[in-house]
Chains A and B, each alone.
Chain A
């Protein structure tokens, strides 16, 4: 079982997530794309753990998951707060610092 296809798939998923973060306007969808990028990096970590034959990569993926969970909680709370004050979940509408 070669490792290169897994890494290439991880790179493709990461790229799709990055393009999504840059192009989508809905804050929640942007957040989902960030999650996709984190998951893609996890796939690479687990693949390299198999290549190297030790479990350090899997531990790193585990910590990425924990951090992602904490990040999602805080991020969604921020999105909720912004929605409550501005009645919009679009990233374009939170532009007060621009003026």
Chain B
């Protein structure tokens, strides 16, 4: 019972966090806390097999699937706060609270009776006892489950499959496209300039400088540019005062945005 009174408040708080967290990733992590706490409650109630299944299937597989899809869909895909139906949120909360209140009051008033406990049922061990039931009394449901799982796997394959509308470009096609671009628009044939080839800054987020000291825009990834996490190039050639062997020869790093001069 101690485990229950420690875990129950944690679970309720985390479940409430699921309602209020703005970011979907935070929701997934809060749900993981709830599910692991539930697993502990299963273990407390004489269900060690379901304890393991809960952790392996729910926290291990299902939540990781959620996080994987979040990664594909975009981590920052947060909720819109705009209500499409006016007052829908308020009514939803009211109806939900009424439902919960009814449920809790009803459960609290019912006397559940004497608790038999699982000591006799678990006598030969929980897993053998569950296997005994699963392969005798519930064997048909078990067989049907396999059909369900195959259908789900097929459905996921069909839904995630994308029809290719244009033929895939091969290496020869890409080379021909490159030459066409050069002939028509004068686009540079060779590879793009690499980013930040400096003595101190060879990170990908630092743009390369052209011989005249200006920033080579094509040297940084478009993704970094869109994210706004591009470093300023350290001092351009004009800012280097003198070149020598002592410690003062390295010009201070310029972060004020004047690097592009």
Interface digits, A46-66 against B, CB 8 Å rule (1 contact, 0 not)? 110111111110110111011
Cross-chain contact of B92 among A23, A61, A77, A78 (Cβ < 8 A): A23
CB–CB B50/A62 < 8 A: yes
CA distance A51 to B47 in the complex (A): 13
What distance in Å separates the Cβ of A65 from its nearest Cβ neighbour in chain B?
6
A3 to B8, CA, bound (A): 13
How many A residues face the partner with a CB closer than 8 A?
71
Q: Are B4 and A36 in contact (CB under 8 A)?
A: no
Q: Is B149 an interface residue (CB 8 A)?
A: yes
Q: How far is the CB of A34 from the nearest CB of chain B, in Å?
A: 11
Contact A26 B24 (CB under 8 A): yes
Binding site of B, secondary structure by majority: helix, strand, loop or mixed? Answer: helix
Size of chain B's interface in residues, with CB distance under 8 A?
83
Say if the beta carbon of B251 comes within 8 Å of chain A.
Answer: no
Interface hits, A39-96 → B, CB 8 Å: 39, 42-43, 46-47, 49-56, 58-59, 61-63, 65-74, 76-81, 83-84, 88-90, 92
> How far is it, in angstroms, between the C-alpha of A49 and the C-alpha of B118 when the chains are bound?
8
Does any Cβ of A come within 8 Å of B70's Cβ?
yes
